[in-house]
Structure 1
């Protein structure tokens, strides 16, 4: 029987934060109407990774959600994956 645990496969030039950014981009693009306006700026530092999400002004509210619930959930997912790949993560929406 084959081992069903996932392998940590990473390209040589890929940073751990790239996997987290891919997850954030996937979730954000699923929420917004104007997918072409979505861009991520990933800044890696010694203390962790900052992912700044830029989107159309009309879509910023969808990404943030009522009382910030949606962005809080996105941050929770990003931080959980960040902990798994070994980096602290913070996500900000620039709208």
Structure 2
């Protein structure tokens, strides 16, 4: 899942080396924390959050095979 997130984010940002994805697994959910360079946050979120929503939709769809709920936090 980390590779999928990174593949989607890299073309959007100016500082791909600053992409950090951490994973926190709990009983019934997996939370992915995405950190990007402070100059790239707006590019990842997009106008009115449209890009962030699209990224989350793809990640959630890819996680449908899992028994756990998938969450993506963008920082």
Structure with larger Rg: 1
2:45 corresponding residue in structure 1: 64
Which consecutive aligned stretches of 4+ in structure 1 deviate over 6 angstroms post-superposition? none
- Tell me: CA distance 1:24–1:72, structure 2 relative to 1, closer, same or farther (3 Å): same
Tell me, what secondary structure is at the counterpart of 1:58? coil
Distance 2:67 2:9 in 1: 22
Q: When the two structures are aligned, how many residues end up with a matched partner?
A: 75
Calculate the TM-score normalised by the size of structure 2: 0.92
Q: Which runs of 5+ in 1 are unaligned?
A: 1-19
Q: Give the distance between the partners of 1:37 and 1:51, measured in 2 at CA.
A: 16
Alpha-carbon separation, structure 2, partners of 1:52 and 1:74: 13
Question: Any idea what the Cα deviations from partners look like across 1:13-63, whole Å, max 9, x if unmatched?
Answer: xxxxxxx22111110112111001010011111121111111111100010
For residues 70-81 of structure 1, the aligned pairs below 5 Å read: 70-81=51-62
Gaps of 5+ in 2: none
Which structure: greater strand fraction?
2
Q: Which structure would you say has the larger RCO, counting Cα contacts within 8 Å and 6 or more residues apart?
A: 2
State whether structure 2 residue 14 is matched by structure 1 residue 33. yes
Q: TM-score, normalised by structure 1?
A: 0.74
Q: Does 1:48 align with 2:39?
A: no
